[in-house]
Structures are given as structure tokens and as C-alpha cells.
Structure 1
Amino acid sequence: MAKHLTALPGYWPGIPELVDSSRVLSTDLDYASMRAVVRAAIDKDKGLTTTKRISFFAPDDTNFGMARMFCTITDTAPEPIEAGAFRTEAEALGFVGRIETRLAEIPGYVAAFGG
């Protein structure tokens, strides 16, 4: 997954990231697997000296819990990374510095991801 992200047009190390988990129906991630996901998120921007921000839009309880697990693991990482879990689109967008209040307002979002 990390290699896919770094290949996207406009990607640069340290770019704030937004994860929309509103359509995730299930997951089989356990704590060890989530630690690996966090490590991959950190490693793709290795050497970054500024704080990396990752925001999760997770409106339902299960996805919010998984996002909070990610956040808790990043809290213990020595690397400069902040992660936040939010139930509203506006909060998730604001955490990564976006002025939009809905994901659909991001140019190209609807075309790329539906919604």
C-alpha cells in the first residue's frame, strides 16, 4: 500500500493524509497487524523532520475504534507523526489543514472515490 501511495501524482514526503473509512465494512486487522500498518506509514516518509499528520474519517464505532488503535500506536512512535480519528468529515479535513467541510468538496474526490 505505501508504495502505491508514494507513486500517486502530487505525493511528497510528509504530505498530510486523509483516510476515509466510511465504506469499510469489515477488517481482520489485529493489534500486531495494525502495528505493521503504522510502521509502513512511518517508513514511507523515513527521515522526515517535520510532523506527519494522518487523519481518519471514521463515522461508525468499529472503524472509529480501529482508527483510535492506529492513533494510540503512533502516540508511542519516536518519529514525528500525529494521527487523529474523527466521526465527522469536517473534523477529519480540518486536522490535515483542509478548508472543505465535506469530502465531496475536494476537487476530484467524487470522480476518484464516488460519494
Structure 2
Amino acid sequence: MNILELVQHKSDNTCAEQLRQLARRINDDHVIQHGLVVDGKSLSLALREHEKLFMEVCRNCSAVLCCRMAPLQKAKVVRLLKTSPEKPITLAIGDGANDVSMIQEAHVGIGNGPFSELFT
């Protein structure tokens, strides 16, 4: 799997340029599977004015790993993917109470930790 990263962006321009590079890389690579790692700050920038491009990159990835995000950001990413035209089956895995909204939004939610009883 080819791991792509959208992390540590502080401006809209750098985030947009990175998204364009990732989209080109997905099209140019002959790797069958791609995975995307995205952090909260970069996600905020990407969704502000580049939601379509972000979604294009996500749709071409087998996995999207969200880190250092607010709980509602995690749920929003799951919702965006779940409601995209391709209607993929979504899986969310979390280990704490801050993951409840994401886990509940996904088709399949897996919780582990002291608050796992909240996931049912």
C-alpha cells in the first residue's frame, strides 16, 4: 500500500497544492492501493474550499486514517465518505469516548476501551 499524507498544513494554498499533488500521484502510480493520513488542521483547510478535491483523493484510497482531530471532524469525514455517490461501506475504530460520534456515524463501528459500552 502506498501511504499518502496530508498533515501539518498551515495555509489554504499549501494544503490545496498538496491535495493536487496527491491526486496526480494516485493517477500516476501503478500501485493498486493507497492509504491517506490526514490531521485535523489540514482537514479544516481542505474542507474549507477544496472539499471536492479532498473527496476525490479519499475515494481513491482504500483507507483514510484521521489523527489529531476533534471528535466532530472524525464523524464529518465518515459522513462525507458514506454519503458520496459511490456509497462505500464505512468502518470506524476508536478507543475512547471522543470517538463515539465517529463510530456511530459509520456503517460498522468498533470501540475498545473504558467507554466501549457507549458504542452500542
- What TM-score do the two structures reach when normalised by structure 2? 0.35
- What TM-score do the two structures reach when normalised by structure 1? 0.36
Structure richer in helix, relative to its length: 2
Question: Greater CA radius of gyration, 1 or 2?
Answer: 2
Q: Which has the higher contact order (CA 8 A, sep 6+)?
A: 1
